[in-house]
């Protein structure tokens, strides 16, 4: 699947990195890094990350 985070919406809440640690990570500057092409087996956790994003900044495109 393809994952896109709208970085103009992202507010660095870090909730995605808790919900889907295989795909999203807060780096040492507490800025988001993510894998834009995660394996389809990770869909459930990516959907959870998108759901719990306080800024609703995560887009999943299949």
Partner 1 sequence: MRPQVVVVGASLAGLRAAEQLRAQGYAGDLTIVGAEKHKPYNRPPLSKEALSGHGPDVTVEALSASLAFRPKSSIADVRWQLGSPAVSSDLAEGLLSLANGQVLAFDALVVATGLRPRRLLGDTPTRGRHVVRTVDDAVSLRAALVPAVRAVVVGGGFIGCEVASTLTSLGARVTVVEPLPVPMLRGVGAELGAALRAHHEHTGLQVITGQGVSRLIGATEDAEQVAAVVLDDGTELAADLVIESIGSHPNTEWLQGNGLDLTDGVLCDNQLRVEGRAEIVAAGDIARFPNPRFDDIARRVEHWNMPGETAKRAAVTLADHLSGHATTTDPFTPLPAFWSDQFGLRLQSFGSPGLADTAVVEHGALDDLDGGLVMAYLRKDRLVGAVLVNVPASEYRRYRDAVAPLPLAV
Among 2, 7, 18, 36, binds partner 1 (CB under 8 A): 18
Interior angle at CA 29, CA 25 and CA 35, nearest 5: 25
Q: Is 54 in the site for partner 1 (CB under 8 A)?
A: yes
Residue with token string 């995605």: 16
Which positions from 28 through 47 interact with partner 1, judged by CB under 8 A? Answer: 28, 30
Distances (CA, A) of 38 to 15, 22, 29, 43, 61: 18, 8, 23, 8, 11
Q: Is 15 in the site for partner 1 (CB under 8 A)?
A: yes
Binding site for partner 1 (CB under 8 A): 12-15, 17-18, 21, 26-28, 30, 51-52, 54, 56
């Amino acid at each position: 699947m393809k994952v896109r985070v709208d970085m103009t919406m992202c507010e660095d809440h870090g909730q995605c990195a808790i919900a889907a640690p295989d795909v999203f990570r807060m780096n040492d500057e507490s800025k988001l890094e993510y894998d834009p092409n995660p394996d389809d087996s990770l869909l459930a956790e990516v959907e959870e990350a998108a759901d719990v994003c306080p800024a609703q900044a995560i887009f999943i495109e299949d």
